[in-house]
C-alpha cells in the first residue's frame, strides 16, 4: 500500500521562496508589471479581501498558493500565460505531495485571473479582485502605466 506524505503546514512559505527564485532566474527585465512585486501585491490584496469572509484554513492556503503562482507563466508567454502558470503550480504542488482536490482549487483560482474574468466561486472571486485591486488605489495610473 502506497502512502503519501502530507504537505508541510508552511507550504506557502516554501512557495514564496520558490516563486521569488523563479522570478529571479527567469524574468526578463522588460517586465515592469507582471513581476515579483505585483505577485506580492496580489497576495496582500487576497489576504485583505479574504479576511472579510469565513474561509477555512484549506481555502485560505489555496488562495495564497494560487496568488503566488498566478503570473509565473508570464515568464514563458504573455498570451494565455495562465496555462503556463497552472503547469508551473501543478509541478510544484505535485513535488510537495499536495492533493489533487486541493490542486484543483488552485487551478480554478489561477484560471479566474484570466481576462475577461469569470470566477465560479468565492475563492475565485477573491483572487480575481485581488489581481485587479490596484484599480481602486491612488497609484492606479502609475501602476497601469507599467502594464
The DSSP secondary structure of 74-124, one letter per residue, reads GGT-STTHHHHHHHHHHHHHHHTT--HHHHHHHHHHHHTTSSSP---SHHH
- Indicate whether this model's pTM tops 0.95: no
Question: Digits of tens for pLDDT over the chain (147 positions)?
Answer: 444 444 445 899 999 999 999 988 887 655 555 567 889 999 999 999 999 999 999 999 999 999 999 999 987 777 898 999 999 999 999 999 999 999 999 999 999 999 899 999 999 999 999 998 866 555 645 555 544
Residue pointed to by grid coordinates 465560479: 120
- All three cell numbers of 84, joined, read 503556463
Burial class (CB in 10 A: 0-12, 13-18, 19+), 106: buried
Asked whether the bond before 85 is cis by omega within 30 degrees of 0, the reply is no
Q: Which of 72, 21, 8, 9 minimizes the C-alpha distance to 43?
A: 72
Amino acid at each position: 500500500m502506497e502512502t503519501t506524505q502530507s504537505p508541510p503546514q508552511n507550504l506557502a512559505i516554501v512557495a514564496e521562496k520558490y516563486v521569488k527564485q523563479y522570478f529571479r532566474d527567469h524574468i526578463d527585465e522588460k517586465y515592469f508589471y507582471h513581476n515579483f512585486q505585483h505577485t506580492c501585491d496580489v497576495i496582500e490584496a487576497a489576504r485583505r479581501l479574504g479576511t472579510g469572509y469565513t474561509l477555512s484554513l484549506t481555502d485560505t492556503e489555496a488562495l495564497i498558493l494560487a496568488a503566488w503562482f498566478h503570473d509565473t507563466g508570464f515568464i514563458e508567454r504573455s498570451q494565455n500565460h495562465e496555462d503556463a502558470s497552472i503547469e508551473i503550480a501543478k509541478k510544484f504542488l505535485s513535488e510537495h505531495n499536495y492533493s489533487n482536490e486541493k490542486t484543483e482549487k488552485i487551478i480554478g483560482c489561477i484560471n479566474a485571473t484570466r481576462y475577461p474574468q469569470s470566477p465560479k466561486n468565492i475563492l475565485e472571486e477573491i483572487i480575481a479582485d485581488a489581481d485587479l485591486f490596484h484599480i481602486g488605489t491612488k497609484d492606479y495610473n502609475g501602476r497601469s502605466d507599467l502594464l
